Amino acid sequence: MVDKNFQRCLLSIFGAVIVTVFVVFNFPNPLSERAELLQCATNSAWCTSKNRILRHPTDAVLRHDHTSDVPHHPLDPLTIQEMNKVQKVIESFFNKSAYAVHSLVLEEPDKEVVLKWRKGDEPPPRIASVIARAAGKNYILTVDVESGAVAEQDTSHISGYPLVTMEDMESTIRAPLASAQFNRTIVERGVDPNDVACLPFSPGWFGKAEDGRRLVKLECFTIKDTINFYMRPIEGIIVITDLDTKEIIEIVDKGKHIPIPKGTGSDYRLAADNSAIIKLPNPISMEQPNGPNFVIEDNHLVKWANWEFHLKADPRAGVIISGAKIQDPVTGVVRNVMYKGFTSELFVPYMDPEEAWYFKTYMDAGEYGFGLQSLSLDPLNDCPRNAKYMDAVFAAADGKPYVRPNIICIFERYAGDAAWRHTEPAVVIGQEVREARPKVSLVARFVATLANYDYIVDWEFHADGLIHAKVSLTGMVIVKGTSYVNTNQVNDSEDMYGTLLSDNIVGVVHDHFINFYLDMDIDGTDNSFVNVHLQREYTKNNAPRRSYMKVNKTVAKTEKEAQIKLKLYDPSEFHVINPNKQTKVGNSVGYKLVPSGGTAASMLDPEDMPQKRAAFTNNQIWVTRYNKSEQWSGGLFAYQSHGDDTLQVWSDRDRAIENTDIVLWYTLGFHHVPCQEDFPIMPTVSSGFDMKPVNFFERNPILRIAPYVEKDLPICKATASA
Amino acid sequence: MVDKNFQRCLLSIFGAVIVTVFVVFNFPNPLSERAELLQCATNSAWCTSKNRILRHPTDAVLRHDHTSDVPHHPLDPLTIQEMNKVQKVIESFFNKSAYAVHSLVLEEPDKEVVLKWRKGDEPPPRIASVIARAAGKNYILTVDVESGAVAEQDTSHISGYPLVTMEDMESTIRAPLASAQFNRTIVERGVDPNDVACLPFSPGWFGKAEDGRRLVKLECFTIKDTINFYMRPIEGIIVITDLDTKEIIEIVDKGKHIPIPKGTGSDYRLAADNSAIIKLPNPISMEQPNGPNFVIEDNHLVKWANWEFHLKADPRAGVIISGAKIQDPVTGVVRNVMYKGFTSELFVPYMDPEEAWYFKTYMDAGEYGFGLQSLSLDPLNDCPRNAKYMDAVFAAADGKPYVRPNIICIFERYAGDAAWRHTEPAVVIGQEVREARPKVSLVARFVATLANYDYIVDWEFHADGLIHAKVSLTGMVIVKGTSYVNTNQVNDSEDMYGTLLSDNIVGVVHDHFINFYLDMDIDGTDNSFVNVHLQREYTKNNAPRRSYMKVNKTVAKTEKEAQIKLKLYDPSEFHVINPNKQTKVGNSVGYKLVPSGGTAASMLDPEDMPQKRAAFTNNQIWVTRYNKSEQWSGGLFAYQSHGDDTLQVWSDRDRAIENTDIVLWYTLGFHHVPCQEDFPIMPTVSSGFDMKPVNFFERNPILRIAPYVEKDLPICKATASA
């Protein structure tokens, strides 16, 4: 459900512009300094729109002057000052010749350094990790922020390209209009070239055609009569363009006979049709008049109830959770649970083999940057009223920093559910017991908009130790133009590769896979992965009961033993344990992975190129030996990658994974056969998984939480307008 | 996770007593009338405790004088006056000799009568359905409420017994103490007979031993030193008792060497250890100062947003949702979605073949009554502050009605999530768009406490047409005594059949299956079931892309074609469509079943007796031809049933199900390998499924819902105590 190409284009412009926005609206500094950082003048449309957003009353929450940010924690992202230093080093490294920065982030210190660090310690040396291109070559550099020393890593053995920059997208989005052939085609289709908008889609890699040059495939739409131009594709036209030279390589046009859908009823804005607004008369709200129960120390360290974790935006992953620890209610000790967790890669293959569609097999994080594709959240509708917000500082293609405000929200949730409960009539114990406890959790939310699609990623922390990761899909289904306006026009033998959603609009069948990197460190780095297999066992001696389900635990010795496909009829639980630490009664402490829906598996042939490139979807669960460089399950250079640097490749090395530092990987999957309800904008669909303590605590860790009593709850009255 | 036997015992007393409670606290009537209905004097402990509960401020919501209830809707449950009439008819039918009423509920009118009925019409004749036992025989009677006419149905061909009554349980719970052998055994184990409490467990049916008589297997606990006696089993003692004669048939004692766990730290009450209470300092609450957006017309008809449905308590099913209809936002027409939905049966097999455990294979709804096992909800902790409550009127074994107050809650939920959202940078369309909508839903909740286990059943209605059914498990895991206090004492070859949870306590492995009856009537009664199969397809002619996923729809012709096991690697969507009605573009209108977690399948041998009795777990999805009498998937008489009246048997008739009135059945499954966090009370675990519109609407039905704006939201302040 993600067409990143379009998003790329939009955000390429956005990327260049947001720097400006940042300066103009975020800094209480002199104007001269602002002007140096951001070029608002050249991007006034953006500045204006961002200006509007920033006026929203709750946008100011957590806002502060990022120019004076200093790192407090070894994992804090690079600050504006640090990025500016690094930018000068890069400029000088490339000797003032043309270059583009594709990524500029903190090179996280080695794990042992981070684990040893304590608040108040001297921070470890700050190193920047830079991915850049210059003169047609990929560069991986590390820059010592203080000394400016640069180290270069050999990239010649790695296929593919780094994620496209906003500037890449911006520079190609208008390229087709420079072609007379393209303009002719468009006019023949009855579209005014002034109404054309093209979106840059990643081409994948299928061999020769994509070899040796960085390509983009542009697909075009008309923006006439609706803001929801996604519903008005100029079907069948693909403009293949070289991202480095900007040269148009080929214009494919297979859609001459296909009318452009009219886009009727596709505008989803409130303002589009005020007469038809449906509103529940009595508002319902999550209220917390005393403020939240969490604090965010030093901009990134979130502390709530028994949890603490480091939270930051990342241009590629969206958000990164680090050092998630929970306090043991019995001993008071703060215990390690997860060293690092993030969405490592996505895979969104469309199921249409035709020429304008077959290559649509996106890997959003590695091709476009899941974090780069975010926009500020709507403070009352993306997140509840009690949320606090966090900004991102990202680098533009010139290496200079910009701020993207409010792309993460953090809030406590109470949804009316019980954390535990029991009622006991008085019969046995002489008194009736009715004990129930409210379930309150903490959510860290991030939303990426990949052109048409919106991905909402929630990390939810529960006081009972459970971490729930959830991905919700909404936004627009990318559609295909068709000549049909009714299914009765379709020949039985014809495959539309999707559902007729509206006149001349087909929602093409596709999948979404989201792969999570979960570096679990249960009470320390040395952990094991245990397959807790549930198998049918037969009783003996003509017992009345013939069969039962028996638990059989197997510790995975090597990576291949931990390549797991979920099996409903041959089930297992999947535990990460610390074999060196037991509870009082002798169980190894651990956490288990619990899928909850979203278990769709990839249906592509394993040897199909898109599948090889996204081979992390070959299994649902993987466990690898910790290797700092193995973070991006679709490969470091995912764009046009050949599938030679994937989780499958690493895992096939079959390294020992018993009682050592291991990383768990889990892939959430959705099959999406579109339906008319997805038009023109799709109601949210969610799935997720839990990381759940299993013999981690000696007993229920929330046994002693307090129930709600009336006198503690807020006193609320309706506002005048309600 | 459900041991109903215990619950039965507790509730048997409760059942008799609640009548009293009802009279004393619910009726603003003269005392004389109350005294006639309820015997509070003989059950003072109960009255006292209920009295306390009923004082809670929100308990009064929806409370009214049930003595004057009259039926308004054809599906309204029998009123107190109607039950009293029927009770007199039954008494007279059995000619004043001994009888026990096991069920007394409304015999719902035929579907066509209900569908034709309109508000204001004369209500159809009221008929009571009565299941009773007298002189060792099962009776199925229908009683015309007005005329008193009785019709008797032949029951000789049906194996098993009706669910046990509260009085059955009450009368057997103390039976063991009358046995000298039992008392000797108990004393030998170091337990004072005054501290012994036994719980009546259903014996299942394994052949000869359970043949021809209604049995119960009592297991005993000590109630000394903790209210959580479940954690103090007197392991290995099973007292087999005849429920009709009260005769003790056998005392099995295989646990002499097993110490009784001390129960240390097992008291979960707030009052148990006030010093250790953990409380988040700042309360968070779901607030709705203007009141709810739903109304409950005539006590049972819930209307909220675009939904309406009939809601009632049922002694066997817990709650029944009927006539769920949604208003089409385009046409304004109120459209049928689901004629009836409820939890039809449960299956909870424990995975321990030893003598005191092998028979523990409960079918809670049919053996004990899922509804009968409910207690009043905690108004601030079981449900949010903005909830409204609904009572149940059930019949005691003498046929007389009693009220169980507040066992259902209804509330609107806003959990901080978006119903849909999209952001669009200004690049293409010249203006930034940021549109998001809050997700507000309506929840109808019911909680059954089956002895140790608590099942929370939620029916959640979303404005986008989705119905989410969810079951949450909490309460206590039933445990087994053991001599071990550390896993290092356990021989490698020994199977404990569970996890050592605490000193001398094993949490035995078990499953939970909850089977839902879903009579979908999509825009009418004649529907079809479509398997929307997703299969790998190969491209031709050396195309760059080798494979894709193709949709292949098959309409199930007969019941056997709709016996479905979910397959992760051979996936399908499952649609119920109306083949006679299409959308404007020609798609058949429909709903799809979407499992979301909880897909565990039964691991027992299909020929094992417990599995045959609970054969509804052989598949996850079934579709049967509508037959009014086929409602209880484990059989009408589930207690000691032989498996000859199950969903499997009905479905194997292989009736035609295309374009006719059909019923969809779905089974939610949980494997539960207990862990220490489950001791002494288990944090809630949830799973569910969606019924989701698929081409039911022409487009997204919540396209035009309003976003939240600050001025509409309530103004709240903290209370003094917070």
The DSSP code sequence of A344-371 is: EEEEEEB---STTTTT-EE-HHHHT-TT
Do A317 and A375 lie in a common domain?
yes
Q: Is B398 in a helix, a strand, or coil? A: coil
Do A526 and A593 lie in a common domain?
yes
Task: Compute the distance between CA of residue B309 and CA of residue B29 in angstroms, rounded to an integer.
Answer: 31
Question: What is the DSSP secondary-structure string of A175-228?
Answer: GGGG-HHHHHHHHHTT--GGGEEEEEE-----SGGGSSS-EEEEEEEE-SS-S-
Task: Compute the distance between CA of residue A401 and CA of residue A37 in angstroms, rounded to an integer.
Answer: 8
Gap from A62 CA to chain B (nearest CA, Å): 19
Nearest in space to B43 (alpha carbons), one of A425, A418, A394, A83: A425
**Residue-range definition of the domain harbouring residue A24:** 4-165
pLDDT at A28 (0 to 100): 32
Interface test with B, best of A43, A50, A285 (most B CBs within 10 A): A285
List, for chain A, all residue ranges whose pLDDT scores fall below the cut of 50: 1-62, 722
Nearest in space to B580 (alpha carbons), one of B499, B662, B671, B660: B660
B361 within domain boundaries: yes
Nearest in space to B384 (alpha carbons), one of B467, B306, B440, B302: B440
pLDDT at B721 (0 to 100): 62
- Alpha carbon of B29 to those of A31, B35, B37, B38, B78: distances in Å? 78, 10, 11, 13, 20
Evaluate if residue B427 carries a pLDDT over 80: no
B611 within domain boundaries: yes
Angle, vertex CA A570, rays to CA A566 and CA A573, nearest 5: 60
Nearest in space to A160 (alpha carbons), one of A103, A210, A209: A210
Q: Are A561 and A528 contacting, i.e. CB atoms less than 8 angstroms apart? A: no
| Residue A88 CB burial class (10 angstroms; 0-12, 13-18, ≥19) | middle
A276 within domain boundaries: no
How many structural domains compose chain A?
3
Do A156 and A258 lie in a common domain?
no
**Which residue is it, tokens 């999957």?**
A669
Do A54 and A197 lie in a common domain?
no
pLDDT at A274 (0 to 100): 75
Per CB-CB distance under 8 Å, the chain B contacts of A711 are 719-722
A578 within domain boundaries: yes
Task: Compute the distance between CA of residue A546 and CA of residue B366 in angstroms, rounded to an integer.
Answer: 23
Interface test with B, best of A177, A703, A719 (most B CBs within 10 A): A703
pLDDT at B720 (0 to 100): 60
Do A190 and A93 lie in a common domain?
no
Q: Read off the pLDDT of each residue in B100-115 and give the average, rounded to a whole number.
A: 98
Residue in B474, B538, B681 closest to A703 by CB: B681
Evaluate if residue B493 carries a pLDDT over 70: yes
Q: Are A237 and A220 contacting, i.e. CB atoms less than 8 angstroms apart? A: yes
β partners of residue A596: A688
Q: In one letter, which amino acid is B107?
A: E
A287 within domain boundaries: no
Structure tokens at A502: 């509206």
**B253 included as an active-site residue:** no
**B453 included as an active-site residue:** yes
pLDDT at A720 (0 to 100): 60
**Which residue is it, tokens 């990202």?**
A394
Do A249 and A152 lie in a common domain?
no
Among A104, A136, A165, identify where a domain stops.
A165
Question: Phi and psi for A531 in degrees, rounded to 5?
Answer: -90, 110
Q: Which of B364, B519, B661, B678 is catalytic?
A: B364
Gap from B32 CA to chain A (nearest CA, Å): 26
Do A152 and A224 lie in a common domain?
no
- Alpha carbon of B37 to those of B44, B400, B405: distances in Å? 15, 8, 16
**Cα distance from N-terminal residue to C-terminal residue, chain A:** 37
Evaluate if residue B11 carries a pLDDT over 60: no
pLDDT at A481 (0 to 100): 98
pLDDT at B24 (0 to 100): 29
Structure tokens at B417: 């999530």
**Chain A / chain B CB contacts < 8 angstroms:** 663
Task: Compute the distance between CA of residue B424 and CA of residue A450 in angstroms, rounded to an integer.
Answer: 10
Q: How many other CB atoms sit within 10 Å of the CB of residue B193?
A: 14
CB-based contacts of B722, cutoff 8 Å, min separation 6: A290, A711, A712, A713, A714, B281, B282, B283
B111 within domain boundaries: no
Q: Are B150 and B127 contacting, i.e. CB atoms less than 8 angstroms apart? A: no
Question: Phi and psi for A686 in degrees, rounded to 5?
Answer: -130, 150
Q: Which of A3, A352, A364, A690 is catalytic?
A: A364
Gap from B95 CA to chain A (nearest CA, Å): 33
Model confidence pLDDT, tens digit, residues B597-614: 899 999 999 999 999 999
Structure tokens at A582: 């037991």
CATH code of the domain covering residue A207: 3.10.450.40
Q: Would you mind telling me the total number of residues written for chain A in this entry?
A: 722
pLDDT at A77 (0 to 100): 98
pLDDT at A721 (0 to 100): 62
User: For B44-156, where are the E strands, in sequence order?
Assistant: 100-106, 127-134, 137-144, 150-153
Q: Which of A161, A453, A639, A666 is catalytic?
A: A453
Q: Would you mind telling me the total number of residues written for chain B in this entry?
A: 722
Gap from A621 CA to chain B (nearest CA, Å): 14
Q: Are B465 and A677 contacting, i.e. CB atoms less than 8 angstroms apart? A: yes
pLDDT at A63 (0 to 100): 61
By DSSP bridging, strand B127-134 and strand A433-450 are: unpaired
Interface test with B, best of A502, A566, A677 (most B CBs within 10 A): A677
B170 within domain boundaries: no
CB contact under 8 A, A418 and B565: no
Do A310 and A360 lie in a common domain?
yes
Q: How many other CB atoms sit within 10 Å of the CB of residue A187?
A: 11
What order do you get walking across the sheet with B196-201 strand by strand? B196-201, B215-222, B233-242, B248-253
Task: Compute the distance between CA of residue B170 and CA of residue B99 in angstroms, rounded to an integer.
Answer: 16
Task: Compute the distance between CA of residue A698 and CA of residue A695 in angstroms, rounded to an integer.
Answer: 7
CATH code of the domain covering residue B639: 2.70.98.20
Cα dihedral B59, B62, B68, B74 sign:
negative
- Number of H helices and E strands in chain B, helices first, is 11, 32
Model confidence pLDDT, tens digit, residues B196-253: 989 999 999 999 889 999 999 999 999 999 999 999 999 999 999 999 988 999 999 9
Nearest in space to B104 (alpha carbons), one of B349, B261, B414, B315: B315
Q: In one letter, which amino acid is A210?
A: E
CB-based contacts of A113, cutoff 8 Å, min separation 6: A74, A124
Evaluate if residue B144 carries a pLDDT over 50: yes
Evaluate if residue B309 carries a pLDDT over 70: yes
Structure tokens at A40: 């608002």
Q: Are B65 and B26 contacting, i.e. CB atoms less than 8 angstroms apart? A: yes
Among A150, A165, A180, identify where a domain stops.
A165
B51 within domain boundaries: no
Q: Are B397 and B101 contacting, i.e. CB atoms less than 8 angstroms apart? A: yes
Structure tokens at A376: 């500020």
Do A557 and A614 lie in a common domain?
yes
CB contact under 8 A, A706 and B278: yes
Do A668 and A544 lie in a common domain?
yes
Angle, vertex CA A57, rays to CA A52 and CA A60, nearest 5: 90
Nearest CA in chain B to A698: B676
Q: Is A38 in a helix, a strand, or coil? A: coil
Nearest in space to A338 (alpha carbons), one of A326, A319, A323: A323
